[in-house]
Amino acid sequence: MSTIAVGNMTLPFYSANTVIVGAGAAAMNCALQLLKFRLQAGEKRPQDRLIVVTGGVKLGASRMSGSDKQTYYKMGTSPRISDTAEDFAKTLTAFGCCHGDNALIEGICSLRGFYNLVDVGVPFPHEPYGAFIGYKTDHDPYERATSAGPKTSKFMSECLQAQAKRLGLRVIDRQMVAKFITSGEGSGKRIVAMLCVDRSQTQKPNMGMSVFAARNWVLAAGGPGEIYRTTVYPRGQYGIHGAALEAGLEACNLTESQYGLASTKFRWNVSGTYMQVIPRIFSTNARGGDEREFLTEYFDDMPTMALNIFLKGYQWPFDAQRITNAQSSLVDMAVHQETVVRGRKVWMDFLRNPVGKVGWEEFNLQRLPNEALEYLQKTGAMQPLPIDRLAHMNKPAIEIYAENRIDLYKEPLEIAVCAQHHNGGFSVDKWWRSSISNTFVIGEMAGTHGVKRPGGSALNAGQVGALRAAEYISNMLFDEIPASPADLGDSVAKSVEQLQKLCAANSTAGTPKQALAEIADRMTRFGAHIRWRSGAEEALSQAKRQYFDINSAGLRVSSPRELPTAILAAQQCLTQVAMLKSIVGMLDRGAGSRGSHCILEESGAEMHPALIDPTDKKPYRFKPENVDLRNTILCTRFNPAAADLFELSDVSPRPIPNRQIAFEPAWTEFREKAIFRD
């Protein structure tokens, strides 16, 4: 480490060939693979030219969240179920807006990534003959899913980090990304440095700021989870989308996220066995009284209601195509109606079976439809109560709540429909290179998932993207030298000045916390699982106005300690504009309901007579999917001169490659590094 002078301040200056931003499972695997590649190439101390920079090693979705982070989706490993990488790719691309080459690579490299995790110590279970038996997850036609329990992604991150640490990996912690510093224009544009703020050092004369310079950047900081008020992302998971957008990276599929049922006191998805044990789901008023079995308004009988609760286990994401005709996502809409429209609280009770209304038969396991009954019989989960079935099938699912001071043996679990995962992100090619040279994007930040995806496929995508980025950097870019303090002095000074201006507002300006709350409320109301044109357009107008206000007048802060929050507010504000602009852009293109969101429209199909839109007191009606748009990916790029700050463009998904090549020429391509050329 050296220093760089900025005015009367002295900032720490770190230099490396490659900087990886983030410390989750994707980031740590990229670091590990890059070190291994360089050691295999004969380099003695590759760790001296690599740095992992993170806002919190023990924070983030990989370490602290459930659902997708419990399930690992890979090529099939069950001994009697055949699978191919091409079939895997077809599953990932089935619902559109997904590049076929990325999907095929995720299939081809999935077992390489999975067995690497096994080797570093992730306790994926296998049977006596060594087979890793799979199970079905949502949108999964095969038994490709596996799990190491509720803490799967946490185990992944920790085991990968431990292995990388043995190889000397440097991790600089508590660094919040404030700004990427770029040079050049057009195809010659590059990120040359990154300005960060250490939250614990803001009272120092340099306000806790540090500078990192590198030739290569791997962005792996997760999704923009806290952009929503109702979210199951871990607290503090803001991501760095705003900084990346401002730097010029092209984004794609920003309209596509996943939403579903999750607990709110301790943020955790209630998917899988939580639903498959078929607990009672009921509501109360805000004070906890006036209990109601509200699901009975939406289903005709006990077996149908119980089946759909069960199906939420592996049909967990809210799905616009599973609402009508008493399907499983009607449960999500019923919870939305109860919480958002009626202002009540919804609970899962594992101490009681579902309760029907007068005239219904009582809950009886033997009367369940075959799909649920056969599963419970096969797993031996025929105990009388949901809590006993859960303890039999997945005891760690109970323990994870106990660790967070929630005893499922004594109390119900409050739930809501929450934002869970961003399927969109930043555009990448087959090596996970972004639209800016020498910058790679992996993990949830990479927009590789399309409209729908199998549960757990995000973990596989993160591991594969990490491997691909590391392999490319090691073979093509690891000899490049980063910029020096002398090269960066003026650009760093300009960036520092912008941050100081952000916090120089007068007493009439809003505070950073007020700005963040406004953004979260707006996105939850207009940019989540229920959307409509007039609402999206008004939200975009409000978001732009907020962005211009923040950039012209700044935010009101009372001490330097609020600098990180002010930076977050500015970044989240730009991110919400990008997301809302993309939503409006898709509506302009004739988009209907798809993936995990519904587009409301008066001429659309009725969801259910009991689902009442509070704006007109009529049943919700939603527009069907425009399937033609599956063949178009909407891309979004920041342009401060544009009317809405962003320019939109359409690209066709790249097809699944069908390349036939004999071994000898393939070997030649590999030896001569032709595989890395476009």
Read off the pLDDT of residues 20-39 as tens digits, 9 standing for 90 and up. 999 999 999 999 999 999 99
Mean per-residue pLDDT for 505-525?
90
Distances (CA, A) of 131 to 77, 234, 300, 430, 520: 7, 33, 42, 30, 45
540 vs 537: CA distance, rounded Å: 5
Least confident of 59-68, 177-186, 464-473: 59-68
Q: Whole-prediction pTM value?
A: 0.95
Read off the pLDDT of residues 366-396 as tens digits, 9 standing for 90 and up. 999 999 999 999 999 999 999 999 999 999 9
Least confident of 132-146, 366-380, 617-631: 132-146
pLDDT for the residue 142: 79
590 vs 214: CA distance, rounded Å: 43
425 vs 24: CA distance, rounded Å: 16
261 vs 272: CA distance, rounded Å: 11
Cβ within 8 Å of residue 379, ≥6 positions away? 392, 393
Mean per-residue pLDDT for 606-613?
95
Distances (CA, A) of 656 to 155, 424, 634: 32, 19, 19
Which H/E stretch holds residue 16? strand 9-21
pLDDT for the residue 483: 84
Mean per-residue pLDDT for 330-351?
97
pLDDT for the residue 64: 67
pLDDT-based confidence at residue 607 (cuts at 50, 70, 90): very high
pLDDT for the residue 571: 97
pLDDT for the residue 67: 45
155 vs 63: CA distance, rounded Å: 8
332 vs 318: CA distance, rounded Å: 6
Mean per-residue pLDDT for 412-440?
97
Parse the chain into domains and list their residue ranges: 261-418, 488-623+631-651
Mean per-residue pLDDT for 288-316?
96
pLDDT-based confidence at residue 65 (cuts at 50, 70, 90): low
Residue 480 vs residue 283, higher pLDDT: 283
C-beta of residue 269 within 8 angstroms of C-beta of residue 67: yes
pLDDT for the residue 139: 64
pLDDT for the residue 509: 80
Q: Reply yes or no on whether the pLDDT at 66 is more than 70.
A: no
Least confident of 291-305, 555-569, 628-642: 555-569
Distances (CA, A) of 404 to 24, 237, 267: 21, 19, 10
User: Tokens representing 358?
Assistant: 């007068």
Q: Given 3-state DSSP classes, what are the helix, strand and coil percentages for the chain, each rounded to the nearest 5?
A: 40, 20, 40
pLDDT for the residue 428: 98
CA pseudo-torsion sign 520, 526, 530, 531: negative
Q: Is 678 exposed, middle or buried (0-12, 13-18, 19+ CB in 10 A)?
A: exposed
Q: Reply yes or no on whether the pLDDT at 621 is more than 70.
A: yes
Q: Reply yes or no on whether the pLDDT at 157 is more than 70.
A: yes
134 vs 558: CA distance, rounded Å: 54
pLDDT for the residue 62: 74
pLDDT-based confidence at residue 68 (cuts at 50, 70, 90): very low
Q: Reply yes or no on whether the pLDDT at 86 is more than 80.
A: yes
pLDDT for the residue 482: 86
The DSSP string of 353-367 is -----TTSPPP-GGG
Q: What percent of the chain has pLDDT over 90?
A: 87
pLDDT for the residue 79: 86
Q: What is the mean pLDDT of the chain?
A: 94
Q: Architecture of domain 488-623+631-651 in CATH?
A: Up-down Bundle (1.20)
C-beta of residue 264 within 8 angstroms of C-beta of residue 339: no
C-beta of residue 567 within 8 angstroms of C-beta of residue 499: yes
pLDDT for the residue 267: 93
User: Tokens representing 663?
Assistant: 């071994």
CA pseudo-torsion sign 419, 421, 422, 423: negative
pLDDT for the residue 143: 84
